[in-house]
Structure 1
Amino acid sequence: MRLDILNKVCEIIIENRDNLTELDRVIGDGDHGVNLSRGAEKVKEEIPKMEGLKPFEVLNKCAMLLMSNVGGASGALYATALMKGAAALKGKDEVLPEDVVNTWNDMILGIESRGKSTKGEKTMLDTLIPAYEAFKSEIESGKDLKVAFEVAEKSAKAGMESTKDMLATKGRATYLGERSIGHIDAGATSSYLIIKTIAESL
């Protein structure tokens, strides 16, 4: 498990705390960046203790840290994704590209189930699903992990940007109705930052 990439993801979330909070302030609770960066700080602190852990143990540990330190919907959704991902990797000492495909799919299913949501509802899924589909296609056609993540990053960015024109049907943003249109979703943005960081770090 690349703990250096995990560390970089944490740093990016912390760096973007104010930006994510501002995005969420416009159409949400205004706490996405604050909450998520708090979780990222806790994970970053614990990374030295994760040396030697199996991949599923790392994801489980991150899930527990988010669960206990991140408030709001984002903590529960990201923690659920990580727990589902950990379950998919149980028993694996080495993570192959096809394992990443299966793990990512299970993470998305976890978010859909926990958030009672799907693509097209102005959420993180609008970033994650197109990115996953692009990634899966690249891996199945024989591309390596780095190339597949680079293609996924482009789809993730397009997915994130597509939330700007969507009407929110989940969370606090639903109260705004038509006024939620014209703003990019904070969860879609944090998901994009994670995918972008992984793509750049491989």
Structure 2
Amino acid sequence: MSLSAREYLNYFKQVTEVIENEKDYLCELDRKLGDGDHGVTMSIGWQSVNEKLDTELLDETDCGKISSVVGMTFLNAVGSSVGPLYATGFIKGAKVLKNKTELTDSDIAEFWVAFVNGVKERGKAQVGDKTIVDTLDPFAKKLEAKFAESQDILAAFSEAVQAGERGMESTKDLISKIGRSSRLGERSLGVQDPGATSAYLIIETFQKVLEVESVK
């Protein structure tokens, strides 16, 4: 399987749509833990990305450039802590994709592992802190292991997304240790982390892109 630059651009279009559809849900989760604006923040970031997709990136064929511009655009649009996390992830991933107009299975796996490592390096959170990392760390570890084993990106990615989903759901049973929600202490129990949730939506959307491409 391979993804063209056009299909990669289309993936970001789909993320924009998914985040817009889930904006209210993400805000509802965040009202129980923080300012209640996570959905709005993510929407602002991705709508800004969407504008770039229709202008500067419209005919771009370098997947590395696409990833880098997406990251910087998101950062410039979003002032909250999530901006630098996603920006670092996409810019780290861009190095894997530099000058590539078609993405192989290996490129895809390496991109997402680099993306997650970038997020982790920037945010310094650990699994169990009730953050985006609770979704992304198990996702990346499963993706790396399963792809090395099978060389089947769709199968490996599907298992990885399931691992990410379990990680996301585990945040309901965690006490928040980082950020504004950490002030709540045990009152943060029982609520799924909004950042972990939006991260899950982003990787799940990529899985759906792979599924569509696999049957073409």
Name 2:16's counterpart in structure 1.
10
Q: Is the 8 A contact 1:32 1:74 kept in 2?
A: no
Name 1:109's counterpart in structure 2.
117
> Is it true that 1:42 corresponds to 2:48 in the alignment?
yes
In structure 1, distance between residues paired with 2:116 and 2:206: 17
Where does the alignment leave 5 or more consecutive residues of structure 1 unmatched? none
TM-score, normalised via structure 1 length = 0.93
Name 1:69's counterpart in structure 2.
77
The AA in structure 2 aligned to 1:196 is: E
Where does the alignment leave 5 or more consecutive residues of structure 2 unmatched? 211-216
Q: Which of 100, 104, 108 is equivalent to 1:100?
A: 108
In structure 1, distance between residues paired with 2:107 and 2:100: 9
In structure 2, distance between residues paired with 1:48 and 1:138: 35
The AA in structure 2 aligned to 1:22 is: E
Q: Bigger shift: 143-152 or 78-87? A: 143-152
The AA in structure 2 aligned to 1:74 is: V
Show CA shifts across 1:18-42 (max 9, x none). 1111111111222211011011111
Name 1:21's counterpart in structure 2.
27
TM-score, normalised via structure 2 length = 0.87
Superposed CA RMSD in Å reads: 1.5
> Is it true that 1:31 corresponds to 2:37 in the alignment?
yes
Q: Which of 72, 78, 92 is equivalent to 2:86?
A: 78
Offset, 1:143: 4.1
Alignment of 1:99-138 (within 5 A): 99-138=107-146
The AA in structure 2 aligned to 1:141 is: E
SS at 2:67 equivalent:
helix
Show CA shifts across 1:122-167 (max 9, x none). 1111101111122222211224222222212211111100011011
In structure 2, distance between residues paired with 1:79 and 1:47: 16
Alignment of 1:177-188 (within 5 A): 177-188=185-196
Alignment of 1:186-201 (within 5 A): 186-201=194-209
Q: Is the 8 A contact 1:135 1:149 kept in 2?
A: yes
Q: Which of 147, 163, 173 is equivalent to 2:171?
A: 163
SS at 2:208 equivalent:
helix
In structure 2, distance between residues paired with 1:135 and 1:79: 21
The AA in structure 2 aligned to 1:144 is: D
Alignment length (residue pairs) = 202
Aligned-pair identity (%): 39
In structure 1, distance between residues paired with 2:51 and 2:153: 27
Offset, 1:4: 1.6
Q: Bigger shift: 34-43 or 99-108? A: 99-108
The AA in structure 2 aligned to 1:68 is: N
The AA in structure 1 aligned to 2:21 is: E
The AA in structure 1 aligned to 2:10 is: D
SS at 1:184 equivalent:
coil
In structure 2, distance between residues paired with 1:70 and 1:140: 35
In structure 2, distance between residues paired with 1:52 and 1:106: 22
